[in-house]
Amino acid sequence: MGHVQNRILTTAAKASTVARSTLPQFPPKDALFTRRKLPSTAFVPETWASIQPPPPSALSAFAHRIGLPSVLDTNEIILQACTHPSFLRPYRRQYPDAPAPETNAQLAPLGNALMGLFASEYLHAKYPYLPTRVLKAAVTAHVGPLTCASVAQEMGATPLLRWHRTVRALPKTPTDPGLLHSDAMASIPRSIAALIYQRRSLLSARQFVHSYFLSRQVDLRAMLKFSNPKKALLEMVDKFGRERPKSRLLKETGRFTNSPVFVVGIYSGADQLGEGFGSSLRMAEYRAAEDALQRVYLTRTPDHLIQLPTSTFPVGLGDVFRTDAPEGKYTAPSLVMSEIMYLSSGKRKPLRIYGVETGKEQTPA
Amino acid sequence: MSAPRLLRAQLRSKPANGHVAFIPHIRKLVFEYCDKWPSSAHTRSFLLTRLQSLARQNPHVEVVVKQRHHKEPIVRGFYANSRDKVIPLNSLEVSAIQRKVDLLLDSSGAKIKPLKRRTVESTTEATRGIWSGLHADRPSI
């Protein structure tokens, strides 16, 4: 299908359809011509349709689809979770006298904070050796805006979302789009997490986040990027107090042909740390060093040994800090060797020091 | 070799529906029938007898009934991937209509691809590993 047809379909999918059975009167009063002293603004059917609420059957079906009919028991609360604060503007323009609808402006940031908490504690417990930058990127991959928007779309919340595409009055860049559809969609699962926290407990909200977000597939290997894996491995091995790494050629085939294959293993004494292949000796050694680092960084705690700090909160409804309920069991895991600081500040070039008197630059020893 | 940057706004995860929690793909089922024409007779009978129990057993589906005058009856399923499937009901009896509705309820909404020419697709690595001649034992006679 061509680009134009795709765009038409996606626009049509995002446009709202109004169920006539849910309307008290059709055609709506605003659409009919009435003689008024003051002229009123023209009636735009698309704007009117985008303001109408989705049918109640769609809202209750949504609650059942995500397995939360007991928590999201009223249609009003589901509608509140699906209403982005940008929706207030077109609503007030159409119905200036009507009471403002409830939005998820307060629920979404609360849910976002809870999701960040649950994701970071879980990923830190699951991958104790992961570098900090990669851990932060992994948290974003699991509960970030794109994933939240994707989860909302899989839940079938696209026709339920009430929002308005607002362009910024003072754009940050010339091509700043303002509010994105994905950001508005992302607010829905965050609001649901916040609602579960408010109506049930923190541990129930944690269960929701674990089921829908932390079970998704994220490729952590692609997030680990090394500019000099041999040097990083050398520093790591020194930190662990082992012998210096030595690379040895294990197998080779096709040397001096157009498709050689070398298999290099990198050893610390008698222990093999990593193995890599390549069409050149240096490439194979590079991959072996990368493999050794990945084997350490991607070490995973088995599921039955994962201890989460939020498990100390008492089970049941009520304030998590109440003293009458017993605390959950938690045995602190042993501290692991801290990450290698090589190039961890994010800067690629080494620090340069400029001498005051001579004006020449000196690199640190 | 310089390390390319991780752009936070592009970080995402892939779905794993069913690994822990399962979200059914179907979200809405729309029955369109005609009040007068005989081609909709079985559909009308289905709507009068079996529709309510169907809606009760599938609370995750929004069931809509619409009139479509002087046209053949259809059932349309709307899915979470924003696609829809349409099945005409004009030559089907009530039990066959039930089977078609079950087909729509179980479907994911994805386009039907022919299975014969496709290669194996997987998001995870091979569980048995990929054979490597350089790592296997040398053949011995």
Please check whether residue B16 touches A, CB under 8 A. yes
Q: Is A88 left (phi over 0), alpha (psi -120 to 50) or beta?
A: alpha
Do B59 and A216 make contact, defined as CB atoms within 8 angstroms? no
| Per-residue pLDDT, A339 | 63
Query: The domain spanning residue B41 has which CATH number?
Result: 3.40.30.10
Interface of A with B in 71-110 (CB under 8 A): none
Number of domains in chain B: 1
| Per-residue pLDDT, A215 | 97
B94, part of any domain: yes
Chain A residue with CA closest to B2: the answer is A227
- Which of A9, A137, A153 shows the shortest C-beta gap to B80? A153
What the block records as the tokens of A67 is 């397995």
Q: Is residue A351 very low, low, confident or very high in pLDDT (cuts 50, 70, 90)?
A: very low
Closest approach of B44 to chain A, Cα-based (Å): 20
pLDDT tens-place string over residues A137-167: 999 999 999 999 999 999 999 999 999 998 8
Chain A residue with CA closest to B79: the answer is A156
Lowest pLDDT segment from A2-11, A232-241, A293-302, B107-116: A2-11
Top-confidence residue, B4 or B61? B61
| Cβ(B46)–Cβ(B32) below 8 Å | no
Do A158 and B82 make contact, defined as CB atoms within 8 angstroms? yes
pLDDT tens-place string over residues B57-100: 999 999 999 999 999 999 999 999 999 999 999 999 999 999 99
CATH code of the domain occupying A224-299+335-362: 3.30.160.20
pLDDT tens-place string over residues A31-84: 887 777 777 778 888 888 889 999 999 999 999 999 999 999 999 999 999 999
Please check whether residue B20 touches A, CB under 8 A. yes
pLDDT tens-place string over residues A166-186: 888 888 888 888 999 999 999
Residues 6+ apart with CB under 8 A from A225: B3, B4, B6
Q: What percentage of chain A exceeds 90 in pLDDT?
A: 64
Q: Report how far apart, in Å, the C-alpha atoms of A160 and of each of A114, A155, A276, B65 are.
A: 23, 11, 50, 19
Task: Specify the 3-state DSSP secondary structure of A304.
Answer: helix
Rounded Cα distance between A110 and A354, Å, is: 47
A-interface mutation test, from B1, B10, B12, B52, most A Cβ less than 10 A away = B12
Rounded Cα distance between A26 and A120, Å, is: 50
Average pLDDT over residues A297-322: 92
| Per-residue pLDDT, A342 | 56
- Which of B11, B20, B82 shows the shortest C-beta gap to A144? B11
Helices (H), A72-144: 75-81, 88-94, 107-126, 132-143
**Chain B residues within 8 A of A223 when measuring between CB atoms:** 6
| Cβ(B83)–Cβ(A10) below 8 Å | no
Q: Is residue A2 very low, low, confident or very high in pLDDT (cuts 50, 70, 90)?
A: confident
pLDDT tens-place string over residues A101-110: 999 999 999 9
B-interface mutation test, from A18, A59, A64, A65, most B Cβ less than 10 A away = A65
Do A227 and B2 make contact, defined as CB atoms within 8 angstroms? yes
- What is the ipTM for the molecules in this complex? 0.93
Total residue length of chain B: 141
Per domain, the residue ranges of chain A are: 224-299+335-362
Top-confidence residue, A262 or B133? A262
pLDDT tens-place string over residues A328-346: 889 888 777 766 565 455 5
Q: Is residue A356 very low, low, confident or very high in pLDDT (cuts 50, 70, 90)?
A: very low
- Which of B12, B19, B80 shows the shortest C-beta gap to A154? B80
Residue B68's domain comprises 22-99
Check: pTM over 0.95? Answer yes or no. no
B93, part of any domain: yes
